[in-house]
Each structure stands twice: as C-alpha cells, then as structure tokens.
Amino acid sequence: MIDLACRYLGLTLRSPIVASASPMTNSLERLLALQHAGAGAVVLPSLFEEEVNRDSLRLSVDLDAGSDSFPELGSFFPPMEFDHLGPLSHLKLVTAAKEHLTIPVIASVNGATAGWWLRNAELLAVGGADAIELNLYSVQANPEMTATAVEDHYLRLIDDLRFRVSRPLSVKLSPYLSSTANFARRLVDAGVDGLVLFNRFYQPDINLDTLDVENRVDLSTSEDIKLPLRWIGLLRPLLPNTSLALTSGVHSGLDVAKAILAGADVAMMASALLRRGAGQVALAEAELAAWMSTRDYHSIAQMRGSMSSRTARDARPYERAQYIRTLASYPVSHLL
C-alpha cells in the first residue's frame, strides 16, 4: 500500500495534493467535490483589500441614495443585503466549509496596508480557518522604495500578526525578490510556519485594436513548475522544519512527484482544476501512487526532499554551475 499522508502547517493531510485559491474553491459545492476527489486540503479564494474597499464605497453610495428627499419617504431606500459585502462573504464560506468538510480549510488574505491585514486575518481565524495564508502580491514600482524597506514592512506585519493570531501561518511569496533564501529565512525567524512558492503575477498586455492596457488570465502549464521546483530544492535543506508548498505548474501526478522529491510538503493545483474540474485531483493521485509503486517508494515521507539540492546525485542544475552547458545543449543544427 502507498501511504500518501503528509503534514503541512502542523495539519495532517490524507494527500499532498492541495486545491489552491481559485474560482474552484469559491463555493461549498465545489469544495465538497474537491474533498470527494481526494484533495488533502483546500485554500479558499483570497480576500482582497481592493475588493473590500470597493464594496464599502458601493454601500456608502447606496446608503446616500435619496438622502435629500423627504424623510417620510422611508420606502424610497432600496432593499439591502449585507452578508455578501467585503469580508462577510469570505467569513460565511469559511464557516460553511468548516461545518461540512473534514479536510483542512485554509483562508487566504491579500492586502496592502498593515491594519487591514491584521483585522481580516483575525476575522477569518475566528471564523474557524485551520490556517491563514498571507498572499504577498504587490508590484513595487516606487523607485524610492528599497528592497530592504519592502521586506521590513512585511516582517513587521508578520510580527504583529503572529502576536494576535494563533493559527498556523503561511506566506505566499513572489519570485521577484532580491535574495529569496535570505527573505525566506527571515520570515521563518519571524514566526512563519510555511512558505508557498510562488505567486503567479498576471501580466498586462496591450490590445493593439483598442489601444488599451488589459489584464488577461493565462493558465499555467507543467512547464511553469521549473521555477518553484528550483527554489523548493534549494530551500528544503536550509529550512528543514518549515512547511513548503509548491504552486504553479502542478497539473499531474508526475508534477506532484517532482514537487515532493525536491522537498515540498504539498503541491497546490489551480489551473489544472479550472481546465478539467475537481476530478483531476483523483487522476493526479492515482498517477502519483502508480509512479511511486514503480520506484519502490512506499510513502510521501520517504520521498520528501530526496532530490533536494543537498541530497540529489548532482545538485549543480539547481544553481549556476550548469548554466553554460545547458545553453550549449540546445540543438541548432536544423537552422543551418
């Protein structure tokens, strides 16, 4: 028998395949389908600061409607429902998920200001989330803001949040850091329980017909696993007691196997689920178990980190040593 059980953020998971934050985790019906398909845990869609601010502005406009009319016209005010606004809808989803699911439920928070992060992370923790994932998704275009200042800001936030929230805490990192290994270690020293590598920034494009700058969702492919795979392999020996999650490019059981071999505790899926539905979890799990059987791996614990930068037979591809050789290996004879 193949043992797929693993530990992530101090939580016991039946499988290392985790459904990452996406529209596939935004309803109880989909969450139940993911659990039925075998997901080890689910990450709920991120609560965005901009989303809450937008809802607050809309509510303010609605409440002001008719304020200059006669006060006797009480029926003028439109009927309003408040449980879908801002963090309340996320809180409802957390509560429903915890009531109906038996697998761990992780809430995700994405913000820009410290006070907002703290209030809403606390709210979702009180709502019953098993863990909180802080999504550090920001593009620093201010030339006066140094890399050190950006990192120090996040570390102060972690320090405050760690003091006020007792739930396990993970941080979803951007790949655009000056020194990924240094910042990862500083986050762990500040009390972070786990790291999620990496955020996929959706890049702007220019529409040549309308001359507008547009954002477009481009789903990942298995090729996108290479960047987080490198850093999981590098960080595992440096942070042996820290939970590591690989996200981006996880589409199959073989992708999950690569993530675990490099040192990840779990592999997170989003794009594959959006393309093929919750059933992809079961297919990936079966493929992972079959591959493990052919290689005489009996458990996830046995696999984990067995091909990290410290334990692989040749760890040079994780760093710069093979750079020139790799470039030179690309076939160009057909171009002559």
Instruction: Decide if pLDDT at 62 tops 50.
Output: no
Least confident of 23-27, 65-69, 296-300: 65-69
Mean pLDDT of 215-234: 92
191 versus 313: which is more confidently predicted? Answer: 191
Structure tokens that stand for 162 in this block:
């760690």
User: Rounded to 5 degrees, what are φ and ψ at 69?
Assistant: -85, 180
Mean pLDDT computed over every residue of the chain: 86
CB 23 within 8 A of CB 319: no
pLDDT at 147: 87
DSSP 176: -
CATH number (domain holding residue 206): 3.20.20.70
User: Does residue 286 sit within a domain?
Assistant: yes
Residue 295 sits at φ, ψ, to 5 deg, of -100, 10
| Reported pTM | 0.86
The verdict on residue 55 lying in a domain is yes
Enclosing domain of residue 57: 6-335
The band of 281, judged by pLDDT with boundaries at 50, 70 and 90, is very high
H or E stretch covering 54: helix 49-64
Query: How far apart, in whole angstroms, are the C-alpha atoms of residue 17 and residue 2?
Result: 15
Omega before 198 within 30 of 0, i.e. cis: yes
CB-CB contact of 307 with 261 (8 Å):
yes
- Helix, strand, coil in percent for the chain, rounding step 5: 45, 15, 40
In a domain, residue 194? The reply is yes
pLDDT value at 332 more than 70 = no
- The answer to whether 160 and 118 are in contact (CB under 8 A) is yes
Domain membership flag for residue 301: yes
Rounded to an integer, what distance in angstroms lies between the CA atom of residue 24 and that of residue 66? Answer: 39
Q: Per-residue pLDDT for 134 more than 50?
A: yes
Rounded to whole angstroms, how far apart are CA atoms 132 and 122?
A: 9
Residue 172 placed within a domain: yes
Q: Does a structural domain hold residue 191? A: yes
Q: Stretch 309-328: mean pLDDT, rounded?
A: 71
Question: What is the total count of domains within the chain?
Answer: 1
Q: What is the mean pLDDT of residues 137-141?
A: 74
* CA separation for the pair 137, 114 (Å, rounded): 14
Query: Is residue 313 classed exposed, middle or buried when 0-12, 13-18 and 19+ CB atoms within 10 A define those classes?
Result: exposed
Q: What is the mean pLDDT of residues 200-218?
A: 87
Higher pLDDT, 215 or 91: 91
Position 171 pLDDT exceeds 60: yes
Given a cut of 90, is residue 143 above it in pLDDT? no
* Closest by CA position to 13, among listed 249, 194, 136: 194
- pLDDT, residue 32, reads 98
In a domain, 1, yes or no: no
**Residue range 160-184: mean pLDDT, rounded:** 91
pLDDT interval class at 139 (50, 70, 90) = confident
- Does a structural domain hold residue 276? yes
| Sequence-distant (≥ 6) Cβ neighbours of residue 115 within 8 angstroms | none
| DSSP letter (8 states) at residue 9 | T
